[in-house]
Chains A and B, each alone.
Chain A
Amino acid sequence: MPCKQGMPKLVVFDALMAHRFFLFLIRVLESAALLVISSAALANVSIVGTPAASATVRQWGNAFTAATNIEVSYVEALEDISTSELFVGIYDLAVVEFPLTTNRLSDKGLVQFPLLGLGIAVAINLPGIPSNAVRLDANVLAAMYLGQITAWNDPRITELNPHLSLPAIPVVPIAQSDGSVVTFNFTRYLASGSELWRKKIGLGSGLIWPLGAGEKDGGAAAKKLLAQEGAVGFQSWEIVSTFGLKTVQLKNGHGEFVRPTPERFASSLRNFLDQPTTDFSAPVNISSADAWPIMAVIYGQMKQIPEDVPDAQETVQMLTQVLKAVTPGTNEQIPVAYQDIAAALSQIQTSKRFGPPQKKRNGS
């Protein structure tokens, strides 16, 4: 009889536990749904790339967030890590200094487009000589960095500057080995004017320079340049402006001596982007009479078929909005015009596709 009395209790107990279990299950499902919804709401633009572009791109991101309330993050990373992390779908946009070749881009299913242009100037520290008074060319600069020209009153320098009385102080070449496109394109300029440089030293962003190891970065090189009389170095225009360095006129691809100005950088970038480019095309000695001879371009990369379609849509939206709004030629880093990247952005599939497109049957 105790069994008969106990059974209803057990049934009631089981029903109660089942009820509790279902309540628990519903809460778990609610939490999961909330998590999914909140993660969708937090969809944002994640960018990885070079420290050289971080200030400008973060500025773009802040402007975009203020306008749309969509978060934009920028993480600094090594050159190829940026591309790899974009490839595996961690980030939506990679910003790189060294562009990939067309073969490698198609292998990885990436789209590449220019984002920013930089002017690279040659800076000097010569007491009593005003900024942009001295004229130099690639051959003389290469001879300075090779240690062949050791004093500022060397005949090869005075030949280019007959109007100046240059001091008889030693030339102190200052270079950085920082792995940047600024350094790489400066060596491109030296190689364009000196066969000896081309054969012996070559191109490099982190060279062991003929006169010793380079400084760790542009900032360290600029400080040394300011401290050392007779110094000559190369810097991006951003650092030249920050440190107030004196610059020189350089001989461009047309044989003209030109002064570095933001307007000239912008027009040189425009010339470069208007020309048909192939792999390894660089904005050095651009074929225009008024062009500044040493420029650099920073590129953006996106996946053609993105992992996260909403984020890719927002990235395209950000680039479109920002590049349509900025005025070219007003900044130290020159943004490209929206028209320059419109074709590349249109290749990115920002609508979800499931599987290959179905073929039509019977020709219908």
Chain B
Amino acid sequence: MKLLWDRSLRCVIPVFVFLLCVEGAQGGGRVPTAYNQRYQALYAEQELFRKRPELLPCVYAARDFAQSSQTAIFNKLRFTSSSVQTGFVIEALSSTKVSRTVRMQGEGRVRAYSFLENWEPANITCTFVSGNSPLVQLSVLEEGSPKDDLSVTKE
């Protein structure tokens, strides 16, 4: 009986140690959980906008708006290097408040019932007025429309 007990312990302990090692190796983010994937996406986005962090509030506001609004033309947005290059920011000072307008281009998934994902070039305009929620406008970027239009601001 003692022999049996010793042998079983000799078997169980290495297995236990092996399982601990495997568990330890997996710890640290290798498990592809939804949280880790979102975190990686956040890092990728930050890397894209690392040279222009002032555009990030518009990125988040536009993405939230597309996902939450039932009337927006797009239900999902994605951003590319051209979003960074075309980003245009301007501020205006009224009597007491400062407002900031951010205009940029991205790609939007058209809100439609389809098996296909229709990604279209998108114009994104965010207006931030201090103390208020951001106002987001999304529209399809017309083919052949000059990119210089971004420099024209409505205030």
Q: Which residues from chain A sit less than 8 Å from chain B, CB to CB?
A: 10, 13, 17, 78-81, 84, 97-98, 100-104, 177-179, 184, 188, 191, 198-206, 208, 278-281
Q: Contacts A98-B54, A203-B54, A205-B52 given: A191-B90 contact, CB under 8 Å?
A: yes
Chain B residues whose C-beta falls within 8 Å of the C-beta of A198 in the assembled complex: 90
Determine if A80 and B46 form an interchain contact, defined as CB atoms under 8 angstroms apart: yes
Given A79-B56, A280-B128: A13 touches B2 (CB 8 Å cut-off)? yes
- Quick one: CB contact mask for B47-76 with A, threshold 8 Å, 1 for yes? 101111110110010000000000000000
For window 33-50 of B, CB contacts with A under 8 Å fall at 42-43, 46-47, 49-50
B98 touches A208 (CB 8 A): no
With a cutoff of 8 Å between Cβ atoms, the chain B residues found around residue A205 in the complex are 51-54
Is B56 a contact partner of A80 (Cβ separation < 8 A)?
Answer: yes
Instruction: Flag whether B80 is at the interface (Cβ < 8 A).
Output: no
- Contacts A80-B46, A80-B56, A208-B85; is A280 near B152 (CB within 8 Å)? no
Contact A179 B51 (CB under 8 A): yes
Q: Which residue of B lies closest to A17 (CB)?
A: B5
B100 in contact (CB, < 8 A)? yes
Q: Once the chains bind, are A202 and B52 in contact (CB under 8 Å)? A: no
B→A interface (CB under 8 Å): 1-2, 5, 42-43, 46-47, 49-54, 56-57, 60, 84-85, 87-91, 96-100, 128, 130-134, 151-153
Minimum CB distance partner of B9 in chain A: A17
Interface residue from B50, B56, B98 paired with A280 (Cβ < 8 Å): B98
Contact of B57 among A78, A104, A191 (CB under 8 A): A104
Least distance between B111 CB and chain A CB atoms (Å): 25
Residues of chain B with a CB closer than 8 A to A97's CB: 53
A278 and B51 contact, CB distance less than 8 A? no
CB-based contact A79/B91 at 8 Å: no
Q: Which 8 A-B pairs have the closest CB atoms?
A: A206-B51, A279-B130, A278-B130, A79-B53, A280-B98, A179-B51, A206-B52, A78-B46
B-side contacts of A78, CB under 8 Å = 43, 46-47, 50, 53
Contact B152 A199, beta carbon cutoff 8 Å: yes
Closest to B88 in A: A202
A203 touching B91 in the complex, CB below 8 Å, given contacts A13-B2, A98-B53: yes
Q: B85: which A residues are within 8 A, CB to CB?
A: 208
Instruction: Tell me which residues across on chain B come within 8 A of A13, comparing CB atoms.
Output: 1-2, 5
Residues of A close to B54: CB separation below 8 A = 98, 184, 203-205
Which residues on the B side are within 8 Å of A203 (C-beta)? 54, 89-91
Residues of A with C-beta under 8 A to B1: 10, 13
5 examples of A-B residue contacts, CB within 8 angstroms: A79-B53, A188-B91, A206-B50, A280-B100, A280-B130
> Given the complex, which residues of B lie within 8 Å of A280, measured CB to CB?
91, 98-100, 128, 130
